[in-house]
Amino acid sequence: MPSAATTPASSLTLEFCGLAFASPIVLLSGCVGFGEEYTRVEGFSNRDAGAIVLKGTTGKARLGNPPHRVYETPMGMLNAIGLQNPGVDHVVARILPGLDFSETRFIANVSGSTLDEYVEVTRKFDDSPIDAIEINISCPNVKEGGVVFGNSPEMSARVVAACRAVTRKPLITKLSPNQTDIRENARRCIDAGTDALAVINTVMGMAIDVATRRPVLGNVQGGLSGPAIKPIALLKVRQVYEVAAPHRIPIIGQGGIVNATDAIEFLVAGATAVGIGTALFYDPMTCRKVNAGIAAYLQSHGIASVRDLVGTLRTGRDIVDTPVSG
């Protein structure tokens, strides 16, 4: 496997919603704060990622959920942070000016409890240097908004359409796995004007302290991320790809990616870019290793560019929901 210094960078570049990405890797919302946290990690470079998604931002500042907020599970992590953030005005006025937009692309993550709040936050990010906007309609660890919007195709489409009306920046809609038919939701969001889709958000889950017989998380439920959800995420990416591909809507595939093989699976399934989040908590250098591994795979298989790998799953049939028996 080539070292980071010898990785053929040109094979990893791509275009996503008109934005030039130096790598197919996207650092996911909530995992790198507002983009400045990882600058303190020795050896880390923003250039290792094609884009960085900032922490979920709401209209007003939020303190988030009561503790405990994070709990490690077998092959995963539960989190119920609750969208703690300083509010959109602070982010636009105080945080964005400190980011180096020459190194990578920065994507805002818009969250809200009401349709009006989504619109307000989107409008303010539209009048900022941010490169693109991700609509978080599928957060499983807040009691209002979030899941309510993300699990209803009708509500999802309404949020997308309302945000589309107040911004000309690329709009990415983050889809929930906690719904009956993710393909229908994707169709409705595409019709409403989304430019891209992020698949998937975390899976609903909980943990119990058997000594006290109480929920571990202060919010009772939280979002499960990490390798445990990878098979779910991979299937959802393929299902959404079958809907999105005819419309040339790109996908950020995410959920349990920890190495280059994981990333390649998502690209083959139909993702144009791949999101890395939980893996960063135990290996901040994950991105560099994943980039090198993807480049080595492309070289060994005679593939000129990561773009030529997208959606190349070899199957004679569409992915359906019919259970497979033993």
Please name which of 54, 79, 51 lies closest in space to residue 64, comparing C-alpha atoms: 79
pLDDT surpassing 70 at residue 1: no
In single-letter form, the type of residue at position 4 comes to A
Residue 271 located in a structural domain? yes
Query: Does any domain span residue 314?
Result: no
d(CA 127, CA 178): 33
Looking at residue 282, its pLDDT comes to 87
CATH number, residue 35: 3.20.20.70
**Beta-carbon count within 10 A of 326 CB:** 2
Distance of alpha carbon 58 from alpha carbon 122, whole angstroms: 10
Structural domain contains residue 73:
no
Q: What is the mean pLDDT of the chain?
A: 90
Asked if 97 and 43 count as a contact pair (C-beta separation under 8 A), the reply is: no
Q: What domain range is 13 assigned to?
A: 4-65+82-203+224-309
Q: Look at 28-37, 128-137, 193-202, 205-214 and tell me which has the smallest mean pLDDT.
A: 28-37
| Residue 315 covered by a domain | no
pTM of the model: 0.92
pLDDT digits 0-9 by tens, 59-71: 999 999 999 999 9
Residue positions annotated with a catalytic role: 139
| pLDDT score for 144 | 52
- Predicted confidence at residue 129, as pLDDT, reads 98
Please state the domain count of the chain.
1
Q: Is residue 190 part of a domain?
A: yes
**Domain annotation covers residue 71:** no
Query: Could you tell me the pLDDT band of residue 152, with boundaries at 50, 70 and 90?
Result: confident
Contacts of 278 (CB under 8 A, 6+ apart): 31, 76, 77, 225, 226, 256, 258
Cβ contact 23:12 at 8 Å: yes
The pLDDT, as a whole number, for residue 317 is 67
Encode pLDDT of 214-268 as tens digits.
999 999 999 999 999 999 999 999 999 999 999 999 999 999 999 999 999 999 9
Residue 318 within any structural domain of the chain: no
Is the bond preceding residue 90 a cis peptide, omega within 30 degrees?
no
Confidence (pLDDT) at 39: 64
Average pLDDT over residues 146-172: 87
